[in-house]
Amino acid sequence: MNITNLHKETAPVTEHAADNPGGMLPRARVQIRDIELGGDRFVVIAGPCAIESDTQIAETASLVSAHGAQVLRGGAFKARTSPYTFQGLGLEGVKLMRAAADAAGMPMITEVLSERDVEAMEPWVDAFQVGSRNMDNTALLKMLGDVRKPILLKRGFAATIKEWLLAAEYIIVGGNEQVVLCERGIRTFSNETRFTLDLAGALYARQETQLPVVIDPSHATGNPRLIPSLAAATLAAGLDGLMVEVHPDPAQALSDGEQALPPDLFRDMMELLSRLAPATGRFLHA
């Protein structure tokens, strides 16, 4: 199955336009356990930047599930700019997240940083996330081509769209077609937000591939007050979902607390999406 049509590096990304002048390509459906991305459901993936304790991840899972999120996210292995900041709980954090997700009745996704961790993590996770720093880690991408779990692939913050899609091809040609693309912001000359959200680039990726595409406005903006409006724009644009950071008490977070949605703002965002979804022909809840 040719999902991105970039099977040769010389193939132009835009060759789809001639193949399908009437609109977007038929959608691939990716299943994270019982949650489907790429269909009529707008999927919200929510949870903390980092798993800090069993109490924190359990409280967050209960919170996001109660307000309509369908997939739990959280970081156990953390790629941090400074070696002196919290690096995550490792595999123990993955196990804590598994217990919290099961208690909340949700599938879960967490980031894998290295190919050496894939085998140990695989029995515990429902999907793997590849973060921005690892988008061009071809050894990891090739290994994830051998697993039979969905992969959410974040765009590198300095990557072109073609480079992002070719990174997806590394996974796909390895035999794993369960790939979701995630736009999480790119570096530009602007510093008013943490990164610059490339919504047009995400729409282009969705138009030129069959892969589901989701947006991460938490990393893109670093500003929780901007996230509800960007979530609404993501839904209205016809993209497939959203990945957001939520923490029960952002001021006490060990990682990226300044960009995490507090409970009240997450609730307001989900209520906004629930009101908008019928007008877009999408739904949030089963």
Q: What is the mean pLDDT of the chain?
A: 91
Q: What's the pLDDT score for residue 2?
A: 53
Place of tokens 């307000």: 67
Q: What's the pLDDT score for residue 215?
A: 98
Q: What's the pLDDT score for residue 5?
A: 56
In this predicted structure, the answer to whether residue 283 has a pLDDT above a threshold of 70 is: yes
Q: What's the pLDDT score for residue 209?
A: 95
Instruction: Give the residues across from 152 on adjacent strands.
Output: 129, 180
Q: What's the pLDDT score for residue 168?
A: 98
Q: What's the pLDDT score for residue 13?
A: 35
* Strands 71-73, 30-32: pairing kind: unpaired
Q: What's the pLDDT score for residue 21?
A: 41
pTM of the model: 0.91
Q: In percent, how much of the chain has pLDDT > 90?
A: 83
In this predicted structure, the answer to whether residue 47 has a pLDDT above a threshold of 80 is: yes
pLDDT tens-digit series, residues 58-108? 999 999 999 999 999 999 997 767 887 777 799 999 999 999 999 999 999
User: Which domains does the chain carry?
Assistant: 28-280 (3.20.20.70)
Kindly give, in sequence order, each residue whose CB lies less than 8 Å from that of residue 110, ignoring residues fewer than 6 positions away.
Answer: 51, 73, 74, 75, 76, 77, 93, 94, 97, 121, 125, 128, 129
In this predicted structure, the answer to whether residue 222 has a pLDDT above a threshold of 60 is: yes
- Tell me the mean pLDDT in the region 209-231: 97
pLDDT tens-digit series, residues 112-157? 999 999 999 999 999 999 999 999 999 999 999 999 999 999 999 9
32, 150 Cβ separation under 8 angstroms: yes
226, 265 Cβ separation under 8 angstroms: no
In this predicted structure, the answer to whether residue 9 has a pLDDT above a threshold of 90 is: no
Q: What's the pLDDT score for residue 88?
A: 78
- How far is 200 from 198, CA to CA, in rounded Å? 5
Start-to-end CA span in the chain (Å): 29
- Tell me the mean pLDDT in the region 8-22: 40
